[in-house]
Homo-oligomer: A and B are copies of this chain.
Amino acid sequence: MKIKIAIAGYGNLGKGVECAIHQNPDMELYGVFSRRNPQDLVTVFPETKAYSINDILDHKDNIDVVIICGGSATDLPKQTPYLGEHFNVVDSFDTHAKIPEHFANVDKSAKEGGKIALISVGWDPGMFSLNRLYGNAILPEGSDYTFWGKGVSQGHSDAIRRIQGVVDARQYTIPVEDALIKVRNGENPELSTREKHTRECFVVVEDGADKERIENEIKTMPNYFADYDTTVNFISMEELKANHMGIPHGGFVIRCGNTGKNKENTHIIEYSLKLDSNPEFTSSVLVCYARAAYKMNKEGMSGCKTVFDVAPKYLSSFSDEYMREHLL
């Protein structure tokens, strides 16, 4: 009996989930549920079934877990509490400041429905959060550092695209190598925003656009760029298409702490990701947490959960015995 997974929302993340399910022999893809007309949906694998999101409750008895692949701004705050009452669900809600509110809403409906709802799953929040927690628990006296990149920030790329005269743009977030080295050396540096990351922009503009004004608008944009050292490169659409169509990302979580009678010994724990495709990696994390949601619900658990609540064994398709023999 394979675990039947449905996908709600079909953008880059949904496509990544579709691919990831094919890599997990204990799962099968039930289908994709979208707001678009099912007939118009071009899926990665032609055999994937497409349905209207409006009909999803009709399939309630046939689906084990729904992976919700909507956006955090407007989709997930509505979809996860709604679907979480009827299905085991997993989402990648990543608006850090609103996690407590989202948790409370989802917890209420998941408990009412007797289902498991796993929120904020992915790599940050997600695997990076786990590493912050493990690092803090093991080395209670120490400092945390999270660096992101090198990778494409969708939000920053969108912000550039909204500037008048810009046709298209990619923004890369890049950790400052010198800061990383100091942290790895156990120097416990205090780092400002500017000292941790730089921002590099590749911008395609309209013919005759005022490049000086555009560069200035980017570099002084509050919240997005003003607090960073930002480089702006104007390139042609051909170059953008040739060299900047990937969605790589990654980053580092480092915990530096001390132990010993007089805190004389220093320890560095580092977790890093180097990802060719940000959405496909996030999807792969979502899929193994879907397995966990299914198994935990089978054991009688319900309510809203995060990665902190999930015992690692639930993520694996291996038996407990196999894991102890081969991975421990």
Using a CB–CB cutoff of 8 Å, the interface residues on chain A facing chain B are 16, 19-20, 23-24, 44-45, 96, 99-100, 103, 120, 125, 127, 129-134, 136-141, 184, 259-261, 264-277, 280-281, 283-285, 288, 291, 306-313, 315-318, 320-321, 323-325, 327-328
Contacts and interface: CB of A to CB of B under 8 A. Distances in A.
A307 B312 contact: yes
B268 A44 contact: no
A310 B272 CA distance: 23
Nearest to A22: B261
- Residue from A136, A259, A281, A315 with most neighbouring chain B CB atoms (10 Å): A259
A130 B141 CA distance: 22
Contacts of A127: 134, 138, 269
28 contacts: A16-B259, A19-B259, A19-B260, A19-B261, A20-B259, A23-B141, A99-B325, A99-B328, A129-B327, A131-B271, A136-B316, A137-B312, A137-B315, A139-B284, A259-B283, A260-B280, A267-B277, A267-B280, A268-B273, A268-B275, A269-B272, A270-B271, A270-B272, A308-B312, A308-B323, A309-B311, A309-B312, A311-B311
Contacts of A283: 259
A127 to B, nearest CB: 7
A84 B51 CA distance: 54
Nearest to A25: B140
A318 to B, nearest CB: 8
Contact of A134 (B275, B308, B312): B312
A324 B103 contact: yes
B261 A328 contact: no
Nearest to A315: B137
B288 A129 contact: no
A139 B277 CA distance: 13
A246 to B, nearest CB: 9
A313 B136 CA distance: 11
B328 A306 contact: yes
